[in-house]
A and B are shown apart, each in its own frame.
Chain A
Amino acid sequence: MELLTNVLAATVVAGTPLLLVALGELICERSGVLNLGQEGMMLMGAVAGFVATLTSGSLIVGVAAAIVAGIGMSMLFAFMAVTLAANQYAAGLALTIFGTGLSAFLGAGFVGQSIDGFTRVAIPLLSDIPVLGRVLFDQDPLVYLSLIAFAGVAFFLRHTRGGLLLRAAGEDPDAANANGLKVLVVRYLAVAFGGGMAGLAGAYLSLAYTPLWTENMTAGRGWIALALVVFASWRPERVLLGAYLFGAASILHLVLQGLGWKSSTELLAMLPYVVTILMLVLLSWNPARTRLNTPLSLGQPYRPGH
């Protein structure tokens, strides 16, 4: 029981950065914009959060800096992909390559330094629930924030006018535009939200998960999150489930080693990537189903009046 509780708690921690970035990308894709630059925005969030925390001594400042960095990066993308109607694949790739380079450049002087990262804050009463209390209510504040973000996104998409407008922009921008919706503004906002969430996810890595900065510390999580959104059929509840599933896959090697399983670290480190491919296979083999769930205008630039 003790082991199970710890494994589940670690799963939630490992799944949290994925949840944060995937929720942002979910909103972005629902507006019809596919931003492949998640990895770049996360890395910028991670380095900005770390450097800001180190210099200011405040984790709150670090988190804010990470969100700002993520949004800033996403605006570069939005300018290319939304305003200039550039190919979204290419623009997203550019964002990842640029973010990887820029974060490594900015963080070069901070490798090897350490900060006091986020620590667990138990929520009174709730944390006393057996198993579940430790797993969900005795975590660091960013885990709680990710759960609030999840609830917010789910509610926004399903029960608010804004959510409806967002989905309209993603499904049929022409019709939405004809109804007076400023599609480009909606898409800018959605991209900005995605950027902020990716920045926050990066901050989770450099301020809570492993409170330090190393080059490329996201290790493909931004890409896994993109697969996660496909896996979730663009639905928030499935994003939550998927994030923890992938979280479990990424700590499986620690669990197996803890149980005395003898295997190479490198081989086990492949697991999350293999699981991602398997998930994609499972979810995509039926093209009709994929088409049914994908936001109709996903990946297509929109130019009003053309």
Chain B
Amino acid sequence: MLLLERRPVDSSLMRWASPLLALVLTVITGFILFLAMGKDPVEGLRFFFITPISDLMGLAELGLKMAPLLLCAAGLTVCYRAKIWNIGAEGHFLMGALGASIVAVQLVDVDSVWVLPVVLVAGTLAGMAWAALAAGLKTHLNCNEILTTIMLNYIALNLLLYTVHGPLKDPYGFGFPQSVMFGDSALLPDLIPGTRLHLGLAFGLLAAVAVWVMFARSFIGFQLNVVGQDHRAAAFAGFGARRLTWFAFLVGGATAGLAGASEVTGPIGQLVPQVSPGYGYTAIIVVFLGRMHALGIVVASALLALTFIGGEILQIAMNMPKAVTGLFQGLLLFYLLTCDAFIHYRIRLKRPAHPSTHSTATGEA
């Protein structure tokens, strides 16, 4: 009989092998799925994983999708390290997009280098304000942050829909629920001319570096780690749990808010209802897959960005439903958590107890 046995020490090899193993299992499942649907699996996997990144244009698109994921994931890493289960990156992101758009629409005719920074700061602050709601609900009213952040996500989405259908609706937009196009001075500069890749990716990479510095070098990073690993030890050491909770939430809100602001001032250039294909939720997978580590989340955000583009390509090239993206992401997280169990546990073959006692007895005799 197979037995799950606790390892004396957690396996650090398994800690980093688990994401790779999960990816392999996901690809195998994908292979079977293509076969089951009567499609060529090799062709399908090539469209999903290789085609999107086979030229500069594709790589730029990858960076474009990476930017919001990485920004959101950087903030969530800070939260999850402290075991604060903030599921609200989607809401922070939407509020960031909304806040930035409200300011950008007011400044549409202003031509100044200050417009873009002001718009980005507005988005960041809006994200922080939304996160502050959840932080206050947790620290002062004792509400479970998973439930409040999820609810705040839905409220943020409805607020955004209200705004594009109402106050921010472009009067000359042929009735479409969208804002006016922002002025040129409110748009993020491109990183690579001729592609859509914009400065947002640089923000994301900077955020990842900041996360690395925070947890490798700073006292507050240390405090967050301690709170996450042992709440009581943190209390004995006098680390203020409330203060740290607020800090983690505000960082999470700021990065996701900036991500939202970068999305509307980057590739879109106006506020539209479908500003996020679920970046805030996918960022949760990025954090787990990236082992809550700065370098890890950079790699993981690239992989998850690929699933968005791969899904679009499969839809066009092989007439598959676009939902294949969500399916792939869900599978990946599932396999990851399963493989993660083997960080703490190992499988052992349990031999029948009787013969072994017998042999020991003979040995002694």
A: residues with CB less than 8 A from B are 36, 76, 79-80, 83-87, 89-91, 93-95, 97-102, 104-105, 108-109, 215, 219-220, 223-224, 226-227, 230, 264, 266-267, 269-270, 273-274, 276-277, 280-281, 284-287, 290, 303, 306
Can you list the 9 inter-chain pairs with the closest CB atoms, starting with the nearest? A101-B326, A98-B330, A108-B321, A104-B323, A84-B341, A266-B162, A101-B330, A101-B327, A105-B323
Please tell me if the beta carbons of A97 and B329 are within 8 angstroms of each other in the complex.
Answer: yes
Please tell me if the beta carbons of A277 and B330 are within 8 angstroms of each other in the complex.
Answer: no
Please tell me if the beta carbons of B162 and A276 are within 8 angstroms of each other in the complex.
Answer: no
B166 at the interface (CB under 8 A from A): yes
B279 at the interface (CB under 8 A from A): no
Query: Can you name the residue of chain B whose Cβ is closest to the Cβ of A280?
Result: B143
A86 to B150, CA, bound (A): 22
Please tell me if the beta carbons of A105 and B321 are within 8 angstroms of each other in the complex.
Answer: yes
Please tell me if the beta carbons of B323 and A270 are within 8 angstroms of each other in the complex.
Answer: no
Please tell me if the beta carbons of B141 and A269 are within 8 angstroms of each other in the complex.
Answer: no
Please tell me if the beta carbons of B326 and A104 are within 8 angstroms of each other in the complex.
Answer: yes
B308 at the interface (CB under 8 A from A): no
Known: A270-B155, A276-B147. A105 touches B162 (CB 8 A): no
Please tell me if the beta carbons of B341 and A280 are within 8 angstroms of each other in the complex.
Answer: no
Residues of chain B contacted by A89 (CB below 8 angstroms): 85, 146
Interface residues of B in 307-365 (CB under 8 A from A): 321-331, 333-334, 336-338, 340-341, 344-345
Partner of A100, one of B152, B284, B330, B334: B330
Residues of chain B contacted by A98 (CB below 8 angstroms): 327, 330-331, 333-334
Interface size of B by CB at 8 A reads 47
Known: A85-B341, A274-B155, A285-B142. A97 touches B147 (CB 8 A): no
Kindly list 7 other residue pairs between chains A and B, CB separation below 8 angstroms, not including A102-B327, A108-B321.
A85-B4, A101-B329, A102-B330, A105-B327, A220-B150, A223-B150, A227-B147
A115 to B209, CA, bound (A): 53
* B290 nearest CB across to chain A (Å): 14
B 88-132 binary contact with A (CB < 8 Å = 1; else 0): 000000000000000000000000000000000000000000000
B6 at the interface (CB under 8 A from A): yes
* A12 nearest CB across to chain B (Å): 23
Residues of chain A contacted by B141 (CB below 8 angstroms): 280-281, 284-285
Residues of chain B contacted by A224 (CB below 8 angstroms): 151
Residues of chain A contacted by B158 (CB below 8 angstroms): 266-267, 269-270, 273
Please tell me if the beta carbons of A223 and B151 are within 8 angstroms of each other in the complex.
Answer: yes
Known: A84-B341, A108-B323. A94 touches B334 (CB 8 A): yes
B15 at the interface (CB under 8 A from A): no
A219 to B155, CA, bound (A): 11
Please tell me if the beta carbons of A227 and B326 are within 8 angstroms of each other in the complex.
Answer: no
A290 to B144, CA, bound (A): 11
Please tell me if the beta carbons of A277 and B137 are within 8 angstroms of each other in the complex.
Answer: yes
A279 to B244, CA, bound (A): 26
Interface residues of B in 264-300 (CB under 8 A from A): 281, 284-285, 288
Residues of chain A contacted by B340 (CB below 8 angstroms): 86
The 29 listed contacts between A and B (C-beta, < 8 Å) are A80-B337, A85-B4, A85-B344, A86-B337, A89-B85, A91-B337, A93-B87, A94-B334, A101-B329, A104-B323, A105-B321, A105-B326, A105-B327, A108-B323, A224-B151, A266-B162, A267-B158, A269-B158, A270-B158, A277-B148, A277-B152, A280-B144, A280-B147, A281-B141, A284-B141, A284-B143, A284-B144, A286-B142, A287-B142
A129 to B170, CA, bound (A): 53
B231 at the interface (CB under 8 A from A): no
Please tell me if the beta carbons of B330 and A99 are within 8 angstroms of each other in the complex.
Answer: yes
Query: Can you name the residue of chain B whose Cβ is closest to the Cβ of A227?
Result: B147
Query: Can you name the residue of chain B whose Cβ is closest to the Cβ of A215?
Result: B323
Residues of chain A contacted by B333 (CB below 8 angstroms): 93-94, 97-98
* B153 nearest CB across to chain A (Å): 8
Query: Can you name the residue of chain B whose Cβ is closest to the Cβ of A276?
Result: B151
B35 at the interface (CB under 8 A from A): no
Residues of chain A contacted by B59 (CB below 8 angstroms): none
Residues of chain B contacted by A108 (CB below 8 angstroms): 321-323
B 147-171 binary contact with A (CB < 8 Å = 1; else 0): 1101110110011011001100000
* B311 nearest CB across to chain A (Å): 10
Specify which of A90, A102, A230, A306 lies most central, judged by the most chain B CB atoms within 10 Å of its CB. A90
Residues of chain B contacted by A303 (CB below 8 angstroms): 6
Please tell me if the beta carbons of B337 and A90 are within 8 angstroms of each other in the complex.
Answer: yes
B 165-190 binary contact with A (CB < 8 Å = 1; else 0): 11000000000000000000000000
A70 to B281, CA, bound (A): 22
Please tell me if the beta carbons of A230 and B142 are within 8 angstroms of each other in the complex.
Answer: no
Residues of chain B contacted by A101 (CB below 8 angstroms): 323, 325-331
Query: Can you name the residue of chain B whose Cβ is closest to the Cβ of A108?
Result: B321
Please tell me if the beta carbons of A281 and B150 are within 8 angstroms of each other in the complex.
Answer: no
Please tell me if the beta carbons of A277 and B334 are within 8 angstroms of each other in the complex.
Answer: no
* B242 nearest CB across to chain A (Å): 13
Residues of chain A contacted by B146 (CB below 8 angstroms): 36, 89
* A47 nearest CB across to chain B (Å): 11
Residues of chain B contacted by A105 (CB below 8 angstroms): 321, 323-324, 326-327
Please tell me if the beta carbons of A80 and B338 are within 8 angstroms of each other in the complex.
Answer: yes
* B291 nearest CB across to chain A (Å): 13
Residues of chain A contacted by B85 (CB below 8 angstroms): 89
Known: A276-B151, A284-B141. A100 touches B4 (CB 8 A): no
A284 to B141, CA, bound (A): 7
Please tell me if the beta carbons of A227 and B337 are within 8 angstroms of each other in the complex.
Answer: no
Partner of B143, one of A36, A83, A281: A281
